[in-house]
A and B are shown apart, each in its own frame.
Chain A
Amino acid sequence: MESTVDVYELAKYGIRFAEKKCRSFKCAEIFVGNSQYTNIELEENSIKYSEIGSDKGVSFRIYNNKGSIGFAFTNQLNKKVVENTVINAAKMMSAGTSDPYFKNLPGEYKSYPEVDNLYDKSIKTLTVEDSINFVKELVQVCSEDDLAISQSGDFTANHNKSYILNSNGIEVFGEETLFSISSNMIVKDKITGETSNGYESQIKRKLIDIDAMYTAEEALKNAKKNLNRIKIKTKKMPIVLTPKGTINLILSPIASAINAQLFQYKRSFLVDKRETKIGSEHLTVEDNALIHGAVGSSNFDGEGVPCKNKKIIDKGIFLKTGLLHNSYTAGKEGIESTGNASRRSFSSIPTIGISNLILKPGNISQEELIKDIKEGILLNSTADSPNISTGDFSGLISQGNLIIKGEIKQALNETMFGINLLELFKNIMLVSKEFKVYGSYYAPFVKIDNVQIIGANS
């Protein structure tokens, strides 16, 4: 895979080979992925690991005229191996079961969107020393603070290329960059000796947008906010989700629930809820792949289908068109794919994933959102996730603080809460105008009333 031309030729050869060699051939697709990365790791607030690596490989997906699928992949890119991989995929295909729901792989598209800034050419001149400089900024924030005793973190630069070709005329090539930085700051209270941590991260398309100082400072702020933890009593009260909390409890569950595959298997709590009100008027969600320079943006999806912007929930109404499809689930419903086929690497069959999932910001500030709360909880994160088939959530607050008379107070230990997501959506009272972008999520602060909190204090 030394040059683009070679890979195209190899892929085309693979398709021709499949057409010729496979009995009852219906269609086939080749995906070639090539990525390179640099990663610098920080431990104990000292630069510890520098890593350079690459991953590359080719996968072959093939269907026969009964809809049976075969899949094979390898990371040895030469003609002989491609032939073997095709033969393997065909063998897998003949052994599989027929599937009447399979229509076809996507056909040729006339045009594709032109989303800018998905690739930053500065990756070409980025040296290991440059990468280390970002991590040095993290180190500085920790060293200069009195309470900070340690920090782990990392900086990663990724350069990914993908090529997709199929026997129906799809032929696309994409190149993208992703830069990320993270900090997990450890602080220790000088008097009590209690320790806590705070985490913050950024993922960006452009190197210049990475702000190491900000990331470490936010992590430090979070860590300090998480000191002096108390246990509280069981009670119903309002909670305010920070952007991370909004991702945990609103956006990420919605991302799963609108996945057409789960939906078709009737494993989403939103089944039978299309064109009905599933939340308050403050709940408006869209999945937009066309934002310039955004992490979840793309011109085409994991099957080469053009990407677009999709309205999902409008003022609490879950729209009829609010599902995310790949070509298989779309075919099953007799509609066009929404361009949401997602593949983590060459080694995975396309599933369904979000582009940029956005909860529409409101028009009040985050301070106003908190100021009238007599007693409530600011929820920064939970590591639990709801049961998507029922919408039931019960879990632990990993990072959260009490809100008393409009002010943020002590952090919480051993505090759990439980709610059904449909009830949570209904109880969304306010959404802030400020929002944060974490990867593919655009998340504001959200106030939710009437949440059952379970404390460890009896």
Chain B
Amino acid sequence: MEIHDDLRLFDEAFIKQLNREAENKIEYWDIRATFTEGTTLDFTDQKSTEISSYDLTSCGIRTFVNGGWGFYVLKDIDKHKIKAGFLKSIKLSVLTESLSKNKFKIKERDPIVEDFKIDTQIKLSNVDIEEKIQLVKNHEKFASDYSKMIKNTRTIYMDGLNDSIFINSFGSIVKQKLSYLRLLNMVYSQKSGVIQRSINSIGGLGGFEISSTEKAENLSQKTAEESITLLNAKSPVGGKFTVVTDSKLAGTMIHEALGHACEADLVLSKESVLEGKIGQKIALDDINIIDNPSIGQGKQFGLPYELFGSYFIDDEGIPSQKTIIIENGILKNYLHSLETASRMQLIPNGHGRASSSSSKPQVRMGFTYIEPKDWDIDELIEDTKNGILCEDFLYGYTNPTTGNFQFKCKFSYKIENGEKKEMMRDVALSGMILEVLNRVSGIGNKKTFNYSDGICGKGGQSVRVCDGGPYIRIEDITVGGLN
């Protein structure tokens, strides 16, 4: 596979040199170097506020000895500077080790020597800037013209091509060529003093074809419709309710209410309420929760591209794979990086991810979801006496130490005697991690399964993620409201 010329400096002789320098001083090292080029288009009210192109390089050198890590970041891909950076990184890890109290080893893994490439139908580099702009203009125009009540529109287009190399002291050499595209649409509408907004985005790993899928083409229509509909929504009344969530919200809830607390770095640092709970029953029998960021899942959803949260290998050279988090209600696995797996005497499961080569890997999710069961959407609603049907989300977060989580829904409808009634806005849901999974009273079937993609933040880094599930029903959720 052809990758960026400058990355060829990591040849056999150079890697040998690095290994010689590391010998007898440190126990593990890895280097990530990346070339990125891309385009960002940002339009508001059909006018361009940013049209930019960039090309950036970065290189992160990580070294390890007996519990101490060193990390050296530079922006030049240059043999001499990388060698000097490598030596500095060694000094840093040795110094860190001398002062750290917490000693541990990194367990050696089999090396991986492989090339990975995201297949694209329409190469981003073959698409003119004018064509990308036309795409954004079309979405802007559609949203603006949708209704007189629409006051503001914004569309952001981002794409990027990423050539990278990963090498480590196990002998791994992984070259990758990635291509991604993300389109985001925001619409603000106004009626008699009330302002409402809606946001939708789609993203994936692939070429320009991502922008012409049905989902992408309907993006601005969906957003415009939603923002207009929300104008008639009422503020909710706060209190305890039975809540039926759609698949996107179910996914967000699993991500926030369970996923973060399963990240083994938080478990080791005693920041997770799930510490010591492997093998214990923490949810109802019916509940199975998975994280599977493997490549190849776009097809399942009829998409000609890869899911936004998918990857070939993580940023520590471990292949992405399916991990069972909860099986029949029992907590089976945490998500691991090289370090956390080594320390817990386990095999790493590919969750050491970094937002770029300039940042160090942390334990992160990929595509987290709850497996479907047997309820129809209609059945779930009909079977609910008094409750709220919540659809899609604005954002969510959790405190893994206390177990309290919360997220905001985009829309909600009252359910009265099994019937979907009036719409509500700004509904916030809150709960406790260890309680909510025991209050699920209905899990939707395969037909109700869907996912959403987005960006998840942790420790100042952002990574691409997906989450999903079927429709689910939960009893006794605290709903925040203005009234």
Tell whether A pairs with B. yes
Chain A residues within 8 Å of B, Cβ to Cβ: 43-57, 68-76, 88-89, 91-93, 95-97, 99, 128-129, 132, 136, 139, 149-150, 152, 184, 186, 188, 195-197, 226, 229, 234, 265-267, 347, 349, 383-384, 387, 389-390, 392, 394-396, 398, 413-414, 416-420, 452, 454-456, 458
Q: Which residues of B contact A139 (CB under 8 A)?
A: 101
Q: Are B197 and A197 in contact (CB under 8 A)?
A: no
A196, B401: Cα distance in complex, Å: 6
Query: Contacting A414 at CB < 8 Å: which of B71, B194, B432?
Result: B432
Q: Which residues of A contact B47 (CB under 8 A)?
A: 97, 99
Q: Counting CB contacts under 8 A, is B239 at the interface? A: yes
Q: List 6 A-B contacts (CB under 8 A).
A: A69-B49, A129-B95, A394-B238, A414-B478, A416-B428, A456-B240
Q: Which residues of B contact A349 (CB under 8 A)?
A: 49-50, 52
A2, B44: Cα distance in complex, Å: 39
| 6 further contact pairs, Cβ within 8 A, besides A50-B71, A54-B74, A55-B75 | A69-B50, A75-B57, A128-B92, A196-B401, A267-B197, A416-B430
Q: Are B238 and A72 in contact (CB under 8 A)?
A: no
A89, B198: Cα distance in complex, Å: 31
Cβ distance B144 to chain A, nearest Cβ, rounded Å: 13
Q: Are B406 and A452 in contact (CB under 8 A)?
A: no
A420, B235: Cα distance in complex, Å: 11
Q: Which residues of A contact B426 (CB under 8 A)?
A: 387, 392, 394
Residue on B with the closest CB to A394? B480
Q: Counting CB contacts under 8 A, is B100 at the interface? A: yes
Q: Which residues of B contact A45 (CB under 8 A)?
A: 101
Cβ distance A88 to chain B, nearest Cβ, rounded Å: 5
Cβ distance A422 to chain B, nearest Cβ, rounded Å: 12
Q: Which residues of A contact B196 (CB under 8 A)?
A: 389-390
Stretch at the interface among B15-23, B267-275, B316-324, B370-378: B267-275
Query: Contacting B56 at CB < 8 Å: which of A74, A184, A389, A414?
Result: A74
* CB-CB nearest 6 A-B residue pairs: A53-B73, A416-B480, A454-B238, A46-B102, A71-B52, A96-B48
Query: Contacting B130 at CB < 8 Å: which of A95, A136, A265, A414?
Result: A95
Q: Chain B, 405-444, contact with A by CB distance < 8 Å: what is the 0/1 string? A: 0101000000000000000001110111000000000000
Known contacts A72-B53, A72-B54, A75-B57; is A132 also within 8 Å of B46 by CB?
A: no
Interface centre among A51, A71, A93, A99 (most CB of B within 10 A): A51
Contact residues of B between 312 and 342, Cβ < 8 Å to A: none
Q: Which residues of A contact B408 (CB under 8 A)?
A: 384
Known contacts A97-B48, A390-B194; is A74 also within 8 Å of B54 by CB?
A: yes
Cβ distance A139 to chain B, nearest Cβ, rounded Å: 8
Stretch at the interface among B62-70, B169-177, B295-303: B62-70
Q: Which residues of B contact A44 (CB under 8 A)?
A: 102, 268-270
Q: Counting CB contacts under 8 A, is B479 at the interface? A: yes
Q: Which residues of A contact B101 (CB under 8 A)?
A: 45-47, 139
Known contacts A50-B95, A51-B70; is A95 also within 8 Å of B133 by CB?
A: yes
Known contacts A44-B102, A414-B404; is A70 also within 8 Å of B397 by CB?
A: no
Cβ distance B462 to chain A, nearest Cβ, rounded Å: 13
Cβ distance B195 to chain A, nearest Cβ, rounded Å: 4
A417, B360: Cα distance in complex, Å: 37
A87, B71: Cα distance in complex, Å: 35
Q: Are A419 and B482 in contact (CB under 8 A)?
A: yes
Q: Are A96 and B51 in contact (CB under 8 A)?
A: yes
Q: Chain B, 181-221, contact with A by CB distance < 8 Å: what is the 0/1 string? A: 00000001010001111000000000000000000000000
Q: Are A454 and B239 in contact (CB under 8 A)?
A: yes
Q: Which residues of B contact A383 (CB under 8 A)?
A: 397, 399, 406
Q: Counting CB contacts under 8 A, is B1 at the interface? A: no
Q: Chain B, 453-483, contact with A by CB distance < 8 Å: what is the 0/1 string? A: 0000000000000000000000000111111
Q: Which residues of B contact A73 (CB under 8 A)?
A: 52, 54, 56
Query: Contacting B50 at CB < 8 Å: which of A71, A88, A384?
Result: A71
Q: Are A52 and B92 in contact (CB under 8 A)?
A: yes
Q: Which residues of B contact A267 (CB under 8 A)?
A: 152, 188, 195, 197
A136, B238: Cα distance in complex, Å: 46
Residue on B with the closest CB to A55? B75
Q: Are A234 and B195 in contact (CB under 8 A)?
A: no
Q: Are B51 and A92 in contact (CB under 8 A)?
A: yes
Known contacts A48-B68, A75-B56, A418-B480; is A43 also within 8 Å of B48 by CB?
A: no
Contact residues of B between 116 and 130, Cβ < 8 Å to A: 129-130
Q: Are A92 and B53 in contact (CB under 8 A)?
A: yes
Chain B residues within 8 Å of A, Cβ to Cβ: 43-58, 67-75, 88, 92-93, 95-96, 99-102, 129-130, 133, 137, 151-152, 188, 190, 194-197, 235, 238-240, 265, 268-271, 273, 358, 360, 397, 399, 401-402, 404, 406, 408, 426-428, 430-432, 478-483
A49, B478: Cα distance in complex, Å: 40
Cβ distance B18 to chain A, nearest Cβ, rounded Å: 18
Q: Are A454 and B479 in contact (CB under 8 A)?
A: yes
Cβ distance A324 to chain B, nearest Cβ, rounded Å: 17
Known contacts A387-B426, A418-B480, A452-B483; is A398 also within 8 Å of B70 by CB?
A: no
Cβ distance B412 to chain A, nearest Cβ, rounded Å: 12
Q: Are A394 and B54 in contact (CB under 8 A)?
A: no
A181, B53: Cα distance in complex, Å: 35
Query: Contacting A452 at CB < 8 Å: which of B57, B68, B238, B399?
Result: B238
Q: Are A74 and B481 in contact (CB under 8 A)?
A: no
Known contacts A93-B51, A99-B47; is A418 also within 8 Å of B74 by CB?
A: no
Cβ distance A91 to chain B, nearest Cβ, rounded Å: 7
Q: Which residues of A contact B46 (CB under 8 A)?
A: 97
Q: Are B271 and A186 in contact (CB under 8 A)?
A: yes
Residue on B with the closest CB to A419? B482
Q: Are B100 and A392 in contact (CB under 8 A)?
A: no
A267, B58: Cα distance in complex, Å: 37
Known contacts A43-B265, A458-B240; is A52 also within 8 Å of B54 by CB?
A: no
Query: Contacting B401 at CB < 8 Å: which of A68, A186, A387, A455?
Result: A186
A54, B61: Cα distance in complex, Å: 13
Residue on A with the closest CB to B482? A418
Q: Which residues of B contact A452 (CB under 8 A)?
A: 238, 482-483
Q: Are B271 and A150 in contact (CB under 8 A)?
A: yes
Q: Are A398 and B69 in contact (CB under 8 A)?
A: no
Interface centre among B95, B190, B478, B481 (most CB of A within 10 A): B478
A74, B478: Cα distance in complex, Å: 48
Query: Contacting A265 at CB < 8 Å: which of B152, B235, B240, B399?
Result: B152
Cβ distance B276 to chain A, nearest Cβ, rounded Å: 10
A234, B479: Cα distance in complex, Å: 11
Residue on B with the closest CB to A391? B195
Q: Are B188 and A52 in contact (CB under 8 A)?
A: no
Interface centre among B46, B51, B69 (most CB of A within 10 A): B51
Q: Which residues of B contact A71 (CB under 8 A)?
A: 50-53
Q: Are A197 and B50 in contact (CB under 8 A)?
A: no
Q: Are A48 and B96 in contact (CB under 8 A)?
A: yes
A387, B428: Cα distance in complex, Å: 12
Residue on B with the closest CB to A139? B101
Q: Which residues of B contact A419 (CB under 8 A)?
A: 482
Q: Are A50 and B69 in contact (CB under 8 A)?
A: yes
Q: Are B51 and A53 in contact (CB under 8 A)?
A: no
Cβ distance A180 to chain B, nearest Cβ, rounded Å: 11
Known contacts A390-B194, A394-B426; is A69 also within 8 Å of B48 by CB?
A: yes
Q: Are B428 and A396 in contact (CB under 8 A)?
A: yes
A278, B112: Cα distance in complex, Å: 62
Cβ distance A349 to chain B, nearest Cβ, rounded Å: 5
Q: Which residues of B contact A89 (CB under 8 A)?
A: 52-53
A419, B72: Cα distance in complex, Å: 47
Interface centre among A44, A390, A394 (most CB of B within 10 A): A394
A395, B426: Cα distance in complex, Å: 9
A89, B133: Cα distance in complex, Å: 15
Query: Contacting B73 at CB < 8 Å: which of A52, A196, A454, A458?
Result: A52
